[in-house]
């Protein structure tokens, strides 16, 4: 039996690659005990990782900004080759290369039947919704690894139709597990459509994916705001307008200078709870982005909020922030009849269509987010570079399968 290695959180600012047991076709103890499910998982598959990506959500844990315990395995962006299937798996075969939604979903509960796979009721006793390698998400082993177990495989796995084509386009296809659907979800739920003007807060990988998705959806102008010059340059590289939030200029004035009016049709928060105020030396102010996007969105607009907000933040700026209670100007959003979409992106709602765009050579998301291939042992260094603001999307290639 082969071994396995996985990236593990070792304390604030520190990760390591550690040896763990090879996965079994079994559910985690948290799920078994908390939900009363059988431990044996004949509905599951084991995947050999082709690619697995580092996500900004992982970085929140690694910074010590969640309640993740030391020893928490990491990684929820998974693309892999099926190497073993349970006896109840009917439609996925060994050798298939598949994308794995970061949401773990049973495919059988009320939420799954409604297409709300981000809040499945049968995969996490702590709350609705689960994910691989994430705090309070059911105890599922992370996918920044050599091998991983995927439950309810027939429902969760998106099989690529042609192996050779998949490997050729793997740097694009690897984004289907999370950031491409998540960015698309942000832009789509913000109401982006043909001719829309769109503001995306944050030029990290999810923000870049949201900006690219807004273009796919037909936006006439996409404006990306950030304080990181390198990341803003990456947004410009595929045709976005940008605003430098470290400049000290008012956001509304910068929007007006670009559009000729001080508001946009749609706005996306791709930053989340570690937001900072404006200006070069701005301190953390977790409600900044939410208040910004309400301020610069037209009346009746929709706001997409894929940026992560948590219920437990040991590093919060005050006691309210430590439990996810922040100073949002809800009265402003109410007065402007705004609608908000929050929470995990239901990846399965979008991943097949986005796969088709990639396979038809109509979407080049890897270039937009500046995908950078690394080995599994390079993960600790990549986390450090990502934390410093590198304008890259790190793609881990554990088995040297990426051309």
Mean pLDDT of 4-23: 97
Which pLDDT value is given to residue 101? 98
Q: How confident is the model at residue 386 (pLDDT cuts 50, 70, 90)?
A: very high
Thinking of the domain 4-178+346-396, which architecture would CATH place it in? Alpha-Beta Complex (3.90)
b/e sequence 18-45, b meaning 16+ C-beta within 10 Å: eebeebebbbbebbbeeeebeeebebbb
- The Cα 317–Cα 274 span in angstroms is 10
Which pLDDT value is given to residue 150? 98
386 closest CA partner among 398, 372, 375: 372
**pLDDT tens for each residue of 310-368:** 999 999 999 999 999 999 999 999 999 999 999 999 999 999 999 999 999 999 999 99
Look at residue 100 and tell me whether its pLDDT is greater than 90: yes
Q: How confident is the model at residue 2 (pLDDT cuts 50, 70, 90)?
A: confident
295 closest CA partner among 325, 260, 326, 253: 253
Give the chain's count of helices (H) and strands (E): 15, 15
CATH of domain 179-341: 3.40.50.720
DSSP secondary structure string for all residues of 158-192:
EE-S-HHHHHHTHHHHGGGGTHHHHHHHHHHHTT-
pTM of the model: 0.97
Mean pLDDT of 226-244: 98
Which pLDDT value is given to residue 403? 86
Mean pLDDT of 260-285: 96
Which pLDDT value is given to residue 142? 98
Look at residue 1 and tell me whether its pLDDT is greater than 90: no
Which pLDDT value is given to residue 340? 97
Cβ distance 222 to 280 under 8 Å? no
Q: How far is CA 105 from CA 39, 138, 248, 279, in A?
A: 16, 11, 44, 41
305 closest CA partner among 142, 167, 191, 147: 191
Which pLDDT value is given to residue 147? 98
Cβ distance 120 to 105 under 8 Å? yes
Q: How confident is the model at residue 191 (pLDDT cuts 50, 70, 90)?
A: very high
- The Cα 124–Cα 391 span in angstroms is 33
- The Cα 54–Cα 32 span in angstroms is 28
Q: How far is CA 403 from CA 279, 313, 359, 373, in A?
A: 42, 40, 17, 10
Q: Say what angle helices 288-296 and 251-259 make with each other, to 10 degrees.
A: 40
Look at residue 14 and tell me whether its pLDDT is greater than 60: yes
45 closest CA partner among 84, 98, 102, 76: 84
One fold for 4-178+346-396 and 179-341: no
Which pLDDT value is given to residue 35? 97
248 closest CA partner among 213, 276, 199, 281: 281
Which pLDDT value is given to residue 48? 98
The mean predicted confidence, pLDDT, of the chain is 97
Q: How confident is the model at residue 160 (pLDDT cuts 50, 70, 90)?
A: very high
**pLDDT tens for each residue of 32-74:** 999 999 999 999 999 999 999 999 999 999 999 999 999 999 9
**pLDDT tens for each residue of 372-385:** 999 999 999 999 99
Cβ distance 129 to 136 under 8 Å? no
- The Cα 122–Cα 203 span in angstroms is 34
Q: Token pair for residue 335?
A: 């007065």
**pLDDT tens for each residue of 118-140:** 999 999 999 999 999 999 999 99
- The Cα 125–Cα 171 span in angstroms is 34
Would you list the domain boundaries of the chain? Answer: 4-178+346-396, 179-341
């Amino acid at each position: 039996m082969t071994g396995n290695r996985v990236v593990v959180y070792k304390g604030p600012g520190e990760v390591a690659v550690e040896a763990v047991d090879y996965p079994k076709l079994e559910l985690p103890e948290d799920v078994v005990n908390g939900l009363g499910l059988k431990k044996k998982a004949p509905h599951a598959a084991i995947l050999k990782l082709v690619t697995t990506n580092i996500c900004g959500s992982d970085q929140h844990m690694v910074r010590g900004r969640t309640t993740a315990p030391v020893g928490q395995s990491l990684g929820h962006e998974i693309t892999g080759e099926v190497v073993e299937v349970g006896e109840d798996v009917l439609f996925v075969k060994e050798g298939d290369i598949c994308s794995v939604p970061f949401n773990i979903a049973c495919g059988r509960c009320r939420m799954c039947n409604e297409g709300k796979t981000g809040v499945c009721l049968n995969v996490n006793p702590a709350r609705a919704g689960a994910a691989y390698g994430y705090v309070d998400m059911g105890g599922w082993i992370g996918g920044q690894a050599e091998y991983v177990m995927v439950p309810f495989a027939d429902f969760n796995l998106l099989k690529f139709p042609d192996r050779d084509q998949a490997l050729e386009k793997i740097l694009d296809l690897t984004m289907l597990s999370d950031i491409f659907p998540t960015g698309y979800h942000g832009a789509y739920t913000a109401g982006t459509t043909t001719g829309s003007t769109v503001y995306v807060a944050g030029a990290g990988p999810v923000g870049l994916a949201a900006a690219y998705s807004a273009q796919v959806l037909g936006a006439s102008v996409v404006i990306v705001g950030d304080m990181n010059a390198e990341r803003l340059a990456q947004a410009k590289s595929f045709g976005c307008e940008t605003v430098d939030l470290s400049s000290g200029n008012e956001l509304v004035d910068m929007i007006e200078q670009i559009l000729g009016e001080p508001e946009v049709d749609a706005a996306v928060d791709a930053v989340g709870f570690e937001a900072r105020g404006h200006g070069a030396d701005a301190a953390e102010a977790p409600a900044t982005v939410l208040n910004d996007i309400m301020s610069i969105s037209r009346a009746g607009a929709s706001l997409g909020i894929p940026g992560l907000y948590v219920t437990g933040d040991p590093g919060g700026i005050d006691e309210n922030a430590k439990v996810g209670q922040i100073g949002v100007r809800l009265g402003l959003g109410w007065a402007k009849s705004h609608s908000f979409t929050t929470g995990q992106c239901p990846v399965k709602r979008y991943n097949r269509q986005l796969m088709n765009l990639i396979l038809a050579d109509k979407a080049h998301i890897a270039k937009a987010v500046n995908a950078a291939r690394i080995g599994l042992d390079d993960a600790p260094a990549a986390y450090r570079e990502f934390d410093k603001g590198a304008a890259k999307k790190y793609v881990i290639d554990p088995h040297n399968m990426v051309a």
